[in-house]
């Protein structure tokens, strides 16, 4: 489903000074896989996540999403692909505090360019029920707990029925018990909703939830 | 539709969270729109006022004046304007032969000192024939008006406008039967006219001292007239009559030595002068709108900076650059339009009270201008901050704390 071929990513720190975050990454992620990308901070895993999540383009090498080379896509096409193909779950939850829980979940459908084959409202309510916070639909994100916020974020990631859910340190801001619950939920979703899940983490025990662990260090796959 | 509701909700949430800031930002536009509308309303009022002044005079009047003062509906200065030739009795007699002419009235005006007892006032003497009263529809309130006989017999009688009568005698009815001294010459007062209104911008008929023109020759030893008023018959074609008068006058004077002015020409000339003045004032007031727009631009930059994270989130879940651009543009337009609406409302309240003393008014065009201009300001001054928001890199935006 996603293929990276010898991908490099450089960042310009200053005039003429570059930092090479990724040094020739080649990986392939298949549909309905549950994979984790593990590495210490500075290993380049966030950069890798941005590339897989279509937030950025490689400096060198090719990325194929469903056999389509993304380097040729325009900014608008990348946005549309993010909207339809990927769902993000962030460490910081990244909900919009001025919108209710339900509105946050609905937000990706607001930006949808294709005609949806489902009713957004219905779908959002179903997902909130699925992640176990249906009663918070009309609350505001800053009025609910971190674990609940992360569940909202998961519901938001799923609303467009994406092929891929990309979770960046999804348990980084919640306590261990909640973290375990979140991981359990993601596993269930992988099985029941048939979505591909990629988790980016530096914690080995979180990475261990995945069936496949890709280790990254100094911009290279170990 | 759904999309638009989300954009609006987002905008209004931020406005209500920053009520003070929102209000202050809109205040710039409010003041600008208010001053522009008030000036336009004043200009419209002035136009209406001038029209009313002229309507109070009789229509189908033509004025024969020295020099060339009107060209294409606006005043033109230069040699010959005012004090060129002066007319005399011969002109009056010739003009009376023009067809479709009811009255030909010679006039001579002079600023004089009129005194009655201990009171004295500086005012205008209007030395003319008895036809002036019918031509301008002036009626006596007390006593009577002077007659053709009075003119021919050079009787030293005067008819006072109510204002000057009040000033000299305390009340107009007391004036009748009394006498005034004009520049030392005693005139018997035989009547006072009804108030005609006016003054301010038009001629102030209520302050005139009317005297028969032949008696008035005392003050006009050359027996010249400053203007001849011609009243055309009601069914006359004013342009034809004007042409006929010009032909008569051309036999004696050169083309640039006199002008025949229609009432409407004069009205147009005055109106055009005030329109230009008004336009200048409105333009100056419009500068405050630009200042208001800069205020909006400034606040929009602040808003964008405050919401970088939000922009990042929206971009990550699929918002295009255009979506972000339009979101912030909508916000700046709402800010500006809000200011514009409040300015309009405030101007309307002020105009409502001003109307008691001055016929200022706001028309539909003014409302459209106000709303159109505020929308345009929102777009013009919002587009740069919105562009900045749209051009943020999604990764950097979402990492921003």
What is the count of structural domains for chain A?
A: 1
- The verdict on residue A89 lying in a domain is yes
From CA A186, how far away is CA A198, in angstroms rounded? 10
Q: Sort out which chain A residues have CB atoms less than 8 A from B2's CB and list them.
A: 109-110, 120
Return the CATH number at A155: 3.40.50.300
Among A96, A114, A166, the residue to mutate for chain B (most B Cβ within 10 A): A96
**At a CB cut-off of 8 Å and minimum separation 6, what does A116 contact?**
A109
Task: Report how many Cβ contacts below 8 Å link chain A to chain B.
Answer: 70
Smallest Cβ distance to A79: which of B2, B3, B318? B318
Is the Cβ pair B3, A110 closer than 8 Å? Answer: yes
> Contact B309/A94, CB-based, under 8 Å?
yes
Phi (first) and psi of residue B232, to 5 degrees: -80, 160
- A99 part of a folded domain: yes
CA distance A208 to chain B (A): 26
pLDDT < 70: residue spans in chain B: 1-2, 56-58, 69-84, 197-203
A42 or B384, greater pLDDT: B384
Residues B180 and B191: beta-carbon distance below 8 Å: no
Residue A157's DSSP bridge partners are none
Interface of A with B (CB under 8 A): 50, 53, 55-56, 75-76, 79-80, 82-84, 87-88, 90, 94-96, 98-99, 103, 107-112, 120, 156, 160
Residue in B closest to A49 by C-alpha: B395
CA B7 to chain A, closest CA, distance in angstroms equals 10
Largest CA distance in chain A: 54
CB < 8 Å & 24+ apart, contacts of B395-399: B395/A50, B395/A55, B395/A56, B395/B312, B396/B312, B397/B308, B397/B309, B397/B311, B397/B312, B397/B315, B398/A55, B398/A90, B398/A94, B398/B309, B398/B312, B398/B313, B398/B315, B398/B316, B399/B312
Going through B215-369 in order, the beta strands assigned E by DSSP cover 227-232, 258-262
Structural domain boundaries in chain B: 2-52+277-399, 98-227
The residue written with tokens 């699925």 in the block is A130
Task: Report the pLDDT averaged over residues A206-218.
Answer: 91
**Domain that residue A213 falls in:** 33-46+74-221
User: Would you say A99 and B308 are in contact if contact means Cβ atoms under 8 Å apart?
Assistant: no
Q: Decide if A57 is inside a domain.
A: no
**Residue A183 is assigned to a structural domain of this protein:** yes
In a domain, A18, yes or no: no
Angle of CA points A169, A110, A123, to nearest 5°: 75
pLDDT at A221 over 50: yes
Q: Is A71 exposed, middle or buried (0-12, 13-18, 19+ CB in 10 A)?
A: exposed
Q: State the complex-level ipTM.
A: 0.94
CA dist A87 → A153, A157, B289, B338 (Å)? 9, 4, 45, 37
Residue A197 backbone dihedrals phi, psi, to 5 degrees: -125, 130
The neighbouring-strand residues paired with B114 are B121, B182
Residue B401: burial class (beta carbons within 10 Å; 0-12, 13-18, 19+): exposed
pLDDT at B80: 41
Q: Which residue has the tokens 């074609």?
A: B237
Q: Given this model, what pLDDT does residue B202 score?
A: 52
The pLDDT of residue B69 is 63
Which DSSP letter does residue B124 get? E
d(CA B112, CA B183): 7
Is there a domain that residue A197 lies in? yes
How far apart, in whole angstroms, are the C-alpha atoms of residue A121 and residue A118?
A: 9
What local confidence, expressed as pLDDT, does residue B74 receive? 44
Confirm whether A86 is domain-assigned: yes
The residue-averaged pLDDT of A132-156 equals 94
Contact between B202 and B153 under an 8 Å Cβ cutoff? The reply is no
| Residues from chain A contacting residue B322 (CB–CB below 8 Å) | 76
Predicted local confidence at residue B58, as pLDDT: 63
Most B-contacting residue of A58, A98, A100, A173 (CB-CB within 10 A), to test interface:
A98
Percent of chain A whose predicted confidence (pLDDT) is above 90? 77
């Amino acid at each position: 489903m996603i293929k990276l071929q010898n991908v490099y990513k450089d960042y310009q720190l200053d005039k003429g000074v570059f930092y090479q975050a990724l040094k020739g990454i080649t990986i392939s992620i298949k549909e309905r896989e549950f994979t984790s990308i593990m590495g210490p901070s500075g290993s380049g895993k966030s950069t890798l996540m941005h590339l897989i999540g279509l937030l950025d383009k490689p400096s060198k090498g090719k990325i194929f999403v469903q056999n389509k080379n993304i380097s040729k896509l325009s900014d608008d096409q990348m946005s549309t692909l993010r909207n339809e193909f990927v769902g993000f779950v962030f460490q910081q939850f990244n909900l919009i505090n001025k919108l209710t829980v339900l509105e946050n979940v609905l937000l990706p459908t607001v930006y949808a360019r294709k005609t949806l084959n489902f009713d957004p409202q219905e779908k959002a309510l179903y997902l909130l029920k699925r992640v176990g916070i249906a009663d918070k639909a009309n609350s505001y994100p800053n009025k609910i707990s971190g674990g609940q916020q992360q569940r909202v974020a998961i519901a938001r990631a799923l609303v467009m029925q994406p092929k891929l859910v990309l979770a960046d340190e999804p348990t980084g801001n919640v306590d261990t018990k909640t973290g375990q619950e979140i991981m359990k939920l993601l596993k269930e979703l992988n099985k029941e909703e048939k979505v591909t899940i990629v988790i980016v983490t530096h914690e080995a025990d979180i990475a261990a939830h995945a069936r496949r662990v890709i280790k990254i260090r100094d911009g290279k796959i170990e | 539709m759904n999309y638009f509701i989300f954009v609006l909700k987002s905008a209004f949430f931020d406005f209500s969270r920053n009520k003070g800031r929102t209000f202050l930002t809109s205040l710039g536009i409010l003041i600008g729109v208010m001053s522009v509308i008030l000036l336009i309303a004043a200009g419209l009022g002035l136009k209406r006022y001038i029209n009313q002044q002229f309507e109070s005079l009789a229509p189908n009047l033509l004025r024969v004046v020295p020099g060339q003062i009107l060209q294409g509906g606006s005043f033109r200065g230069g040699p010959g304007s005012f004090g060129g030739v002066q007319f005399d009795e011969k002109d009056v007699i010739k003009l009376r032969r023009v067809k479709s002419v009811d009255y030909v009235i010679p006039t001579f005006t002079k600023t004089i000192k009129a005194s009655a007892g201990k009171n004295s006032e500086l005012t205008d003497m209007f030395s003319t024939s008895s036809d002036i009263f019918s031509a301008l529809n002036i009626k006596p309130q007390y006593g009577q008006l002077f007659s053709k006989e009075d003119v021919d017999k050079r009787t030293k009688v005067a008819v006072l406008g109510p204002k000057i009568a009040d000033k000299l005698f305390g009340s107009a009815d007391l004036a009748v039967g009394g006498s005034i001294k004009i520049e030392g010459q005693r005139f018997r007062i035989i009547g006072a006219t009804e108030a005609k209104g006016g003054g301010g911008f038009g001629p102030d008929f209520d302050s005139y001292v009317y005297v028969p023109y032949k008696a008035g020759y005392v003050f006009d030893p050359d027996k010249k007239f400053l203007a001849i008023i011609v009243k055309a018959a009601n069914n006359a074609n004013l342009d034809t009559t004007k042409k006929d008068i010009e032909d008569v006058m051309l036999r004696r004077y050169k083309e640039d030595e006199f002008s025949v002015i229609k009432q409407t020409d004069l009205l147009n000339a005055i109106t055009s002068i005030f329109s230009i003045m008004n336009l200048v004032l409105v333009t100056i007031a419009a500068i405050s709108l630009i200042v208001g727009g800069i205020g909006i631009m400034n606040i929009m930059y602040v808003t964008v900076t405050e919401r970088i994270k939000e922009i990042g989130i929206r971009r990550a879940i699929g918002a295009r650059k255009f979506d972000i651009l339009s979101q912030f543009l909508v916000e700046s337009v709402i800010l500006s339009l809000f200011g514009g609406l409040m300015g309009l409302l405030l101007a309307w309240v002020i105009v409502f009270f001003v109307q008691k003393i001055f016929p200022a008014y706001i028309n539909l065009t003014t409302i459209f201008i106000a709303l159109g201009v505020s929308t345009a300001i929102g777009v013009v001054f919002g587009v740069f901050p919105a562009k900045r928001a749209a051009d943020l890199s999604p990764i950097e935006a979402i990492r921003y704390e």
